[in-house]
Amino acid sequence: MPARGASVQRGKCMKKTLIVLCALFLGSMTAWAALSQKYADWPNGPAGYLMTQQERAAYKQLTTDEQAKQFIDLFWAKRDPNLSTRINEFKRDFQARVAAADKMFAEKNVRGSMTDRGKVFILMGPPANRGKEPIEKFLISLYGRGRQDTHAALGGTGLDVSTVMYGIAFNRAKGVAEIWLYTRDQLPATVRIPKRFKTVMFAFFDTDGTGHYELQRNIRDAKWAIECLDAMPQKDLAHPNMTKMPVYPLLPGTTAATPAQLAWLAINPAPWPEGARAGVSPGVEEADIYPAWAFIILPDKVAPADTMVGRLTGADGKLIGTFQKSVTGLETQSGRLYEVSVPAPAGSSTLELALAAQGSPVAVRKLDITMEDVPAGATYITPMVAGQQVIDVTKFVAGTPFIYGGHHVVPRPDGHFAFTDTLNYFCLIVHPGLNDKGQPDVKMRMKLYLGKQPISNAPYRSLQLSKVEDNVYMFGSSLPLSILPKGGTYTLKTTVKDFIKGVSRTTMIPIIMPPKK
């Protein structure tokens, strides 16, 4: 029998061990509790599919939202295939897959991206082949007609019985197998697939016909599908050893502005020629990429600029990026037009632009930018951009500022026009809803004010949209200003609405007219 002192000593040791374990547990709880719900839940969402074991362990050690934000920014940068641009093509494609999975694979109260089919779709992409058949038929084709271990476990009549085949319980009448096949070129190279397999199969079973599909992990040949799925997080790491965020150029193909060039932006008073104009508007580069389109128009009397310098800062005053680029400008009826497409973040930011000729600044302007946070795949309508001059474009280049299909509008945000002018206005519609004929149903209504007094009010009318690229459509129209009754300050209120998705955009276009002679 052990001595009483030894028993007491063991009790003290056990108590000490429990205290240490509790401290470790509470420390872990404190770390997670310090994160807001947004960041605490982030690994449990679709992005969690991409996390390696090391990343998941590292994320559990974070204690503040700022640390979590820095981790997530670096997490996406590690997967960016092209660090020479600010656009993360991998993240863009991932978000598009999540949106598609939510739409295609939702199950009751579970969003589609969080289902088994959604996970496979997000990680592996669309399968090369996809089909459905009764579970019983699939299992017989997989294993043959040998011993099937079949019995009616829950009774019933006819085919409507619970059946067990090869350890899998399902309803013979209602059980459905959905089979996805991926070809070898779609699979991670690190998985050594036997040469006899031309494809790898993912099998999802809805055992009771309820619409809930589970990925089968234990059927014949399923191991290759599971190995491929497990290998994807490591495969997607383009820069696994990255430890800090890369420094991106603000614009592709440019270099950062020099200190001497940035000094132009601080000149007080800033040079701004009489008659010069500037403005900024949300634009579209392609579906789900929304830059800010900015411009400066210099009157003909000003020396043509040969260099544009820019600096973009966030709402918190932190630098987002700078650039310098050679420019020539476009001759227009209003002067020489200089444009730039800037990857401004969602929310508020400030763009400072300088145009220089032979090393000397000729025009400096600060533009406030407000960009919406548009989810991938969501319907989006740009504000209407209006001007008098429209230049026909023979070769459309997606994302070029203020080009709408084959039309390049010269913006006139100050709203000053003549009665001999025609007001031309354009917008872009991204991911519009499509009817059963595959066509958008977008309409517009217009209301014209003189001062605050409405003088005309047109009801909604259907718009004829032109498709400019995949998922991007444009609308344009014109209004001869000779119809206005007299001089004064007018406002044309346009509301464009997608009647399938219920998304709308209202733009107030100023029209300032001189006295009518």
pLDDT of residue 85: 75
Q: CB pairs under 8 A, 24+ apart, for 117-122?
A: 117/178, 117/204, 117/213, 117/215, 118/46, 119/46, 119/49, 119/215, 119/229, 120/180, 120/202, 120/215, 120/229, 121/97, 122/46, 122/49, 122/94, 122/97, 122/98
In the chain, what percentage of residues exceed pLDDT 90? 81
DSSP-assigned letter for residue 515: P
Kindly state the average pLDDT of the residues 399-426: 94
Which one has a higher pLDDT value, 419 or 245?
419
Kindly state the average pLDDT of the residues 207-232: 95
Kindly state the average pLDDT of the residues 258-280: 96
pLDDT of residue 30: 43
One-letter amino acid for residue 110 of the chain: V
Predicted confidence band at 5 (pLDDT cuts at 50, 70, 90)?
very low
Cα 517 from Cα 514, distance rounded (Å): 9
Q: What are 294-323's pLDDT values in tens digits? A: 999 999 999 999 999 999 999 999 999 999
Predicted confidence band at 169 (pLDDT cuts at 50, 70, 90)?
very high
> Which helix (H) or strand (E) element contains residue 467?
strand 466-469
DSSP-assigned letter for residue 482: G
Q: What is the DSSP string of 310-333?
A: EEEEETTS-EEEEEEEE---EEET
Per the listing, tokens 């209602």 go with 174
Predicted confidence band at 276 (pLDDT cuts at 50, 70, 90)?
very high
Q: Taking the mean position of all CA atoms in its chain, how far away is CA 81?
A: 16
pLDDT of 460 above 60? yes
In the chain, what percentage of residues exceed pLDDT 70? 90
| Residues 271 and 296 sit within 8 Å (Cβ to Cβ) | no
Mean pLDDT of the chain: 90
Which one has a higher pLDDT value, 63 or 153?
63
pLDDT of 468 above 60? yes
Q: How far is CA 58 from CA 17, 79, 244, in A?
A: 25, 17, 15
**All CATH 2.60.40.2550 domain ranges in the chain, comma separated:** 249-373, 374-517
pLDDT of 274 above 60? yes
Predicted confidence band at 82 (pLDDT cuts at 50, 70, 90)?
confident
Burial 111-137 (b: 16+ CB within 10 A, else e): bbbbbbbbbbbbbbeebeeeeeebbbe
Which residues does 381 contact at the CB level (< 8 Å), separation at least 6? 427, 428, 429, 430, 496, 498, 503, 504, 505
Q: What are 65-81's pLDDT values in tens digits? A: 999 999 999 999 999 99
CATH topology of domain 374-517: Immunoglobulin-like (2.60.40)
Kindly state the average pLDDT of the residues 147-175: 73
pLDDT of 10 above 80? no
| Residues 326 and 306 sit within 8 Å (Cβ to Cβ) | yes
Domain range 249-373, CATH architecture: Sandwich (2.60)
pLDDT of 395 above 80? no
Reference 333, options 247, 408, 252; nearest CA is: 408
Backbone angles phi, psi at 490, to 5 degrees: -105, 160
Cα 119 from Cα 96, distance rounded (Å): 13
Kindly state the average pLDDT of the residues 265-277: 96
pLDDT of residue 145: 72
Cα 90 from Cα 431, distance rounded (Å): 20
Cα 295 from Cα 29, distance rounded (Å): 52
* 39's tokens: 């960041």
Cα 222 from Cα 318, distance rounded (Å): 50
Greatest Cα-to-Cα distance within the chain, rounded to the nearest angstrom: 119
Cα 45 from Cα 39, distance rounded (Å): 10
Reference 479, options 381, 390, 407, 413; nearest CA is: 390
pLDDT of residue 151: 52
- Indicate the range of 149-153, 334-338, 382-386 predicted with least confidence: 149-153
Backbone angles phi, psi at 436, to 5 degrees: -70, -10
Question: pTM above the 0.85 mark?
Answer: no
Backbone angles phi, psi at 352, to 5 degrees: -105, 130
